[in-house]
Structure 1
């Protein structure tokens, strides 16, 4: 890829673990900013940490990004495939004098650090191998492979006009000469990031505020290379609901774990975008609205708090209102994950319409719809004791007779049959509906009884009502 004047952002995760919600939010903000301005959103895999990077983690990143629909506009770039490029630039910097070899051993660096701390100074490289006019360097020691250090400016300031935090100023005297290539020749993070962002034409770097201290170092490398410096936006961290560091107990899970918990991808995006960004009091946004409205002027510089109950609320709103065709593939994923044969039950679109008002997640919906695709394994003990009583056996017998005679198996016809049995026995509808629910569902909770029986089908309904009546008599 070559540099471009158009807006280009990137998401650059390290494949050392799952795609967590903080990373997903950063990716989302990068995606939305690029799309808002008609630009490009790119994905880069920063896999130079060979020991910790795994293919499993790479796959997890791709899977999470794909599920969220955050598509890169070009093929992902891997840093490990760009070592030749890094080495070429380092050689050019050594020749230009913007980088130099340092032969300090680990013991020397440790001693340097200990002495500085003893003097209550900030630990930093003291520049002993940095070439300076009039300075005589010792001959390189035998058997010590050198690292390459960047010759950071000794004077002046780095001024960052952060799109979120505003102006941040760093004094160059506080920045030592960082290592850009290790003794074995492998390049380091801060160097690779600069070369990648330069080559990819990145115009805005959007990342977590844990990178703020890296930014002045990277800007100085850009300047030393004569490369255009991108704008920066450092997104504040996400805290737990109690204000402490986000952990698994708060919801710091991999993105795909939220899929397993029953979240819709669009609901997850909606919740993530509101962690730090706002548009008035609006809570729910379509993807198109997010793109059209997103702006860093409305991103808070304060930390956000992850509230799992709010996430569930957002998901429920989507479940209740989303196009069934959008929900169906995700619902099907959950049903198949349970090992259910979808040919052995009703259309999943019909199940969604029946269940979505009372289910906050697709997992909950799948669990409550299990009875439609598989045989009952038994009855909830508490519900059976309360509703499958001796009197209920006769009600179930009457229902079998009334339902067997129906010419059409429709909600209206089923409702009339159930209502007729209740009236004939001078019972409230609940006194009849609850034994039916336990008989056909296994528990006393289901969609409206007419919808439940229509979804279950005539044959299964009659079989389960008959079996429940027999269960009651055998128990007594």
Structure 2
């Protein structure tokens, strides 16, 4: 049997963390088994579904690298298929028209609750043939009255539900629209889905869907219902815990490699290993190793992973993702050092790509002002001579290399008989605008020689204005 999995989000909002983890587990299982991964957009809730939400799902999947082998399919484009099978069930006596009004059903459920019973449709129209003409109706599936639904869940083990606990499910509404549970059954069947990975909130839907599949003589897929994700405080993950949209993590400066690595560990493990490449995930992943317990989101762990990947991935790979953040912050990187070179010198200094862009602006554009605290401490009249001397030595270099730059700075300090800090710190503030940067040799070599000399001149002018004020 060739494995086929699917991710089937509803386009009523962004791609959230829980959905992304479900997509990841489905994708990993398909890849680990040499199978196919299908993307299906379940957009039958026409009032709440939006084009923006559909695009947000596609963008999130692309950013995470969870490429689909088939799709995206849209349920709204498949209504003819659902109609075909609803008509088939009606012809075979496995579904029926129900003319009960919402008000009648509400009254029955209210009485059931008063008696302490589980609210449910009582099957009033199940076997009736006295159908009123012109009155609106829904179509219900004839759920078996006896026996039970038994299925082995990869996460939770064997699950048994008595059929008497299930009422006759509506499969088509009065407006003619098929319902979610029915559409899912037909889609999973026609798309050849062999393994369904989804959230635990769908467990109650599973026996209903299995009964419809059996009524249609369709194969029943295997199921894995994963537990919810909790916030740091132990409550269900929500906006109050920070970013819950996958693309918000992109916007906040996280690498997709870090987010994927973090998500896979929210409910799955392989010993004590924390860092996994995608290839390792594919090799090691198993549905049977998913934990039953809810997972707690830990923002600090995600930050740690992000730092790890910024520091250890090839700089060119990090630069591909960092470029978006530079552009978002209005920094034009077409003129200046290669972005991968900037990543190389800044990687140890940041937690996110957003921070990387923020602290690297001086590589690509001149700054209007010096950091006030750094200038007050390091751009004082006493260092004017030091800056003039180091500027001359740097301007005289015929080969602009990190080694030569460092040598010029050392020689300046020796000639003036001062410590390195008396030359290095004023030079750092002059060239970068602040008192923080990577070592001066690797910082200056990424800037044009003429640019460095110009910025030192600007700092000297700043000192002179300070003297005269």
> TM-score, structure 2 length as denominator?
0.97
Correspondence for 2:46 among 32, 40, 50: 50
Partner of 1:37: 33
Q: Does residue 83 of the first structure (1) align with residue 48 of the second (2)?
A: no
Secondary structure at 1:440 match in 2: helix
Structure 1 position 209, deviation (Å): 0.8
Correspondence for 1:202 among 193, 196, 199: 193
Q: Does residue 365 of the first structure (1) align with residue 364 of the second (2)?
A: no
- 1:300-339 equivalences in 2 (<5 Å): 300-339=291-330
**Are residues 116 and 431 of structure 1, via their aligned partners in 2, closer, same or farther at CA, if it must alter by over 3 Å?**
farther
Which whole-Å CA distance do the structure 1 matches of 2:427 and 2:16 have between them? 44
User: 346-355 vs 193-202, which deviates more?
Assistant: 346-355
- 1:20-419 equivalences in 2 (<5 Å): 20-131=16-127, 137=128, 139-419=130-410
Partner of 1:458: 449
Which whole-Å CA distance do the structure 1 matches of 2:17 and 2:421 have between them? 44
Deviation track 1:270-326 (CA, whole Å, cap 9, x = no partner) reads 111111111111111111100000012321110111111111111111111112232
Partner of 1:134: none
Partner of 1:443: 434
Q: Is the Cα contact below 8 Å between 1:124 and 1:176 reproduced in 2?
A: yes
Structure 1 position 68, deviation (Å): 1.1
Q: Is the Cα contact below 8 Å between 1:105 and 1:144 reproduced in 2?
A: no
Q: Is the Cα contact below 8 Å between 2:144 and 2:163 reproduced in 1?
A: yes
Structure 2: unaligned runs, 5 residues or longer: none
Q: Is the Cα contact below 8 Å between 1:250 and 1:308 reproduced in 2?
A: no
Q: Is the Cα contact below 8 Å between 1:102 and 1:148 reproduced in 2?
A: yes
**Are residues 7 and 138 of structure 1, via their aligned partners in 2, closer, same or farther at CA, if it must alter by over 3 Å?**
closer
**Are residues 166 and 429 of structure 1, via their aligned partners in 2, closer, same or farther at CA, if it must alter by over 3 Å?**
farther
Deviation track 1:329-377 (CA, whole Å, cap 9, x = no partner) reads 1122222222222232101111111111111211111111111111103
Q: Is the Cα contact below 8 Å between 1:147 and 1:183 reproduced in 2?
A: yes
Structure 1 position 143, deviation (Å): 4.1
Which whole-Å CA distance do the structure 1 matches of 2:20 and 2:40 have between them? 14
Which whole-Å CA distance do the structure 1 matches of 2:385 and 2:94 have between them? 92
Partner of 2:421: 430
Secondary structure at 1:311 match in 2: helix
Which whole-Å CA distance do the structure 2 matches of 1:436 and 1:304 have between them? 50
User: 292-301 vs 337-346, which deviates more?
Assistant: 337-346
Which whole-Å CA distance do the structure 2 matches of 1:424 and 1:299 have between them? 66
Structure 1 position 328, deviation (Å): 2.1
Q: Is the Cα contact below 8 Å between 2:386 and 2:422 reproduced in 1?
A: no
Regions of 4+ moved over 6 Å = none
Deviation track 1:431-458 (CA, whole Å, cap 9, x = no partner) reads 4322222222121111111111111221
Q: Is the Cα contact below 8 Å between 2:390 and 2:423 reproduced in 1?
A: no
Structure 1: unaligned runs, 5 residues or longer: 132-136
Which whole-Å CA distance do the structure 1 matches of 2:105 and 2:93 have between them? 23
Which whole-Å CA distance do the structure 2 matches of 1:430 and 1:26 have between them? 54
Q: Is the Cα contact below 8 Å between 2:395 and 2:450 reproduced in 1?
A: no
